[in-house]
Amino acid sequence: MEYDNPVLRVAPAPPAEAAAHFRASLAFHADVSDVAAALEAGGDVGFVLLDSRSTEAWDQGHIPGAIHLPTALIPGQAEALVDKSMPVVTYCWGPGCNGATRAALALAELGYRVKEMLGGFEYWVREGFAYETWRGGENRPADPLTAPVAGARCGC
């Protein structure tokens, strides 16, 4: 059956192909809520969280426990700062920025196992998670568009 609408002009992939695609996507991406849950659990989280933004952006706000390594410095400094046996999760500003993708590529080219955190620092703050600035710890109320029930995770 053919449909004349923009959603179904190209038919959905067969289920096995769709499963392979989405499984692969999860191998490359983590979301803000999952990263927050892992960090909140404490102990050895099993990955390094890397903020690939500028020093000015880092000072403005970053995720507690992250290391700071701007993308341009990764080729020369990553091996001194990040253990290659640990997976790395990169983040940058937000969905409108591909800095975390560029950082993930640079790390992968150096032999690191890497994922990109979808939403970046913007969604970390919008979901109401604590962050650090040059002044100390800060927190904003969750944006109701990203966290519709105060204090609750989406439950995905």
Per the structure, the complete domain to which residue 69 belongs is given by: 29-138
pLDDT tens-digit series, residues 80-116: 999 999 999 999 999 999 999 999 999 999 999 999 9
Residue 72 domain flag? yes
pLDDT tens-digit series, residues 8-60: 888 899 999 999 999 999 999 999 999 999 999 988 999 999 999 999 999 99
Q: How far apart are CA 48 and CA 50, in angstroms?
A: 6
The pLDDT score that the predictor gives to residue 73 is 98
The CATH number of whichever domain residue 111 belongs to comes to 3.40.250.10
Residue 6 domain flag? no
Q: Which of 37, 29, 48 is nearest to 86 (CA)?
A: 48
The number of folded domains in the chain is 1
Residue 1 domain flag? no
Residue 2 domain flag? no
Residue 56 domain flag? yes
Residue 55 domain flag? yes
Please, what's the b/e burial string for 8-20 (b: 16 or more CB within 10 A of its CB; e: otherwise)? eeeeeeeeeeeee
Residue 117 domain flag? yes
Residue 17 domain flag? no
The pLDDT score that the predictor gives to residue 79 is 97
pLDDT tens-digit series, residues 108-144: 999 999 999 999 999 999 999 999 998 888 788 888 8
